Chain A
Amino acid sequence: MVPQQLLQPRPARILVVEDEVLVRALIAEELRLAGFSVIEANRADDALTYIRAGQQVDLVFSDIQTPGLLDGLQLAETLRDKYPDIPVILTSGNDDPKYVGILGTFVPKPYDITKTIELMSAILAQKSPGER
């Protein structure tokens, strides 16, 4: 008999990259309430280190302006090249979405959390269970 836990799909893991701690804590809490598992990074560098360490990530939600060596656009570019199975949603209060191009979906700040979660769910639904 297979334990019930093994039959249930694991929650999708969303890596949130945001250096404003109050903003990050808010979106992380809402995502957890929606049933996601959330990893909180304050820098794109840390996010990439986490992924390179082999940790499971199903979607990245990143601010474009982040401290450190990489910004959100460079993170998205690296993920597109090295980890194409990880979809990226970029957000910013300043950047013109045309700069985002094919790197990911753009959500302008301030964003509606409910609509953003719906967008994440829709993107994750397009991934097959085997990819998760």
Chain B
Amino acid sequence: MSDPCILIVEKDLLVRTPLAEYLRECGYLVLEASSAGDARTLLEDGSRRIDIVLAEVKSGEPSGFALASWVRTHLPNTQVVLAGTVATAAEKAGDICQEGPALSKPYDHRLVLDDIQRLLAARDRNDRT
């Protein structure tokens, strides 16, 4: 079985790069997108299964919310975790990403890893039942 694949959507290179490197060191295959539009291009490409999308809420147009909605409609097996700074945005994210908690920025790498591991474990449990 191949390593789980995480797609990080974050426009700030100085934020995205260390987070991506941290998750690679944890054994994940990590794809990077600087916008929700680029993320959708990678998701539509379909050359690899993307297990989790970790997206910034304010990721330009389309927004992280719109990306999450698109993923839920078209790729129901892909989980979305939205990150943002606004509390209300986090609440909305909780509605959109039914299984995915919203994360606060700046990212705590350990918390991100914990969330990813929990989501993948839950998915594996669902796959078995």
Contacts and interface: CB of A to CB of B under 8 A. Distances in A.
Contact of B14 (A37, A40, A49): A49
A53 B38 contact: no
B85 interface: no
Interface in A20-69: 21-22, 25, 28, 32, 37, 39-43, 46-47, 49-50, 53, 55
Contacts of B41: 21-22
B32 A55 contact: no
Interface string A56-93: 00000000000000000000000000000000000000
Contacts of B24: 32
B38 A39 contact: no
A104 to B, nearest CB: 20
Given A41-B13, A53-B14, A55-B14, A46 B34 contact: yes
In terms of DSSP, what is the predominant structure of the interface of chain B? helix
Nearest to A24: B32
B33 interface: yes
Contacts of B35: 42
A50 B42 contact: no
Contact of A25 (B17, B21, B42): B42
A3 B85 CA distance: 40
Contacts of B16: 40
Classify chain A's interface size.
Answer: 10 to 19
Contact of B13 (A21, A25, A49): A49
B31 interface: yes
Given A21-B42, A22-B41, A25-B42, A50 B34 contact: no
Interface in B9-52: 13-14, 16-17, 21, 24, 31-35, 38, 41-42, 45
A25 B14 contact: no
Nearest to B45: A22
Contacts of A53: 14
The 8 residue pairs across chains A and B that have the minimum distance between CB atoms: A21-B38, A42-B34, A46-B13, A40-B32, A50-B13, A21-B41, A39-B17, A41-B13
7 contacts: A22-B42, A32-B24, A39-B17, A40-B17, A40-B32, A42-B38, A55-B17
Given A41-B13, A55-B14, 7 more contacts: A28-B32, A40-B13, A41-B34, A42-B34, A42-B38, A47-B13, A50-B13
Interface of B: 13-14, 16-17, 21, 24, 31-35, 38, 41-42, 45
